[in-house]
Amino acid sequence: MRVYQFRHIDILLFYYKNIKKLISVPDEIITFCVIIRAVINEGLIMKIVYFDVENYEEEFLKENNDGKYTYFLEQNPLNDLSPIKKEYEDADIISVFTTSRVNKKVLEQFKNLKLIALRSVGFNHIDTDYCKEHDIAVVNSPGYGNITVAEFALALLLNVARKVTESYTDYKNGCVKPENLMGTELCGKTVGIVGLGAIGSAFAKIAHGLSMNILGFDKYEKEELKQNYGVKYTDFDTLLKESDFISIHAPLTKDNYHMFDEESFKKMKKTAIIVNTGRGELIDTKALYDAIVNKQIAGAGLDVLEKEETITDFDYIVGLNRLDKFTLEQTIINSQLFRLDNVIVTPHTAFNSREAIHRILRTTMSNINEFSSGNIQNNVIKI
């Protein structure tokens, strides 16, 4: 944990007039320390706690701190398996990544919380109902990774289609059999894109550059994609039946949970490959596993899984007796996917490029600055 206090003399002088109204001492004895204490105690500086902080994020935040806030950097995520540290309870603002699980039990521990600044687009890991009831604003970081995630989706697709990981593993083990490593080209094939928002649109443009035929499924049609990139919008069933490859870029809603279920996989080509960089909950993992094992589809590239937090979170792993039956079942199914040669699973890292991380952090800091100025940008709930 790192703590960075308000320290810039130019900002201190900016607050000087307000401070003189708050403390009754002559000018000559208003020392640096007195100013700091007065500013912090009277709430002129907001207290921020960043959770889920990686080393590269810490470096960026330190380099770009303008001294307006007292902030804490915490490497651990937020969850309800352990109480928050005492010094965090009076935080005005918290910032979290998707690895945190910010439910009611967690939120009740913050006595002065006004804003949750997400370093992500998605917010299904936040109890937004509680936030609405307690006037806590929630803002996200949209648009940071459109190209980054789209490129990663292509990387997953190429990896599975051309058997890159299998080739590497066999070569390393000295047992190369070319007939086992025969892949399939993307050029001229049909790719179905589920969700044509910013990321899905970026993926469509990449696919167009590879001379692929593009089917799209989204309730909103974009003329630019149809006219300039050859996207043909269609219904979900047609996309399932006609696509050689499917790339998922849809957000998770109450209506599309497990939209890829047992029946969906039965409609797909036996040679089809599915890629998911959207949300793990969009796929019924058990149905996917069965479809691959039974050769109903050819393979999968997955950057997200339902209940993916149980794979790497030590607190979840050692606390399995506290998990519900469904989570335990998902944990087992997820582990079985790793044993399949025609499946690539990555740790929710499609967002993780240097450029995208910097965009996330800049947007997060901008969101916080706007909020402290009385404005809310990138708001995801109405309070």
Active site residues: 279, 308, 348
Query: Please, where are the H alpha helices in the chain?
Result: 9-14, 16-22, 32-41, 55-63, 104-107, 128-133, 146-161, 164-172, 198-209, 223-229, 236-242, 262-267, 285-293, 309-312, 314-318, 325-337, 354-372
**Measured distance CA(278)–CA(299) in Å, rounded:** 17
Q: Coil, strand, or helix at residue 244?
A: coil
**Measured between alpha carbons, how far is residue 188 from residues 89, 211, 363 in Å?**
57, 6, 38
Pairing of strands 70-73, 2-4: antiparallel
**Measured distance CA(250)–CA(234) in Å, rounded:** 15
Contact 242, 272 (CB under 8 A): no
**Measured distance CA(259)–CA(240) in Å, rounded:** 11
**Contacts of residue 140, Cβ cutoff 8 Å, sequence gap at least 6:** 118, 120, 121, 122, 123, 378, 380
Structure tokens at 72: 């804490």
Provide the residue type at 223 as one letter.
Answer: E
Structure tokens at 6: 């308000």
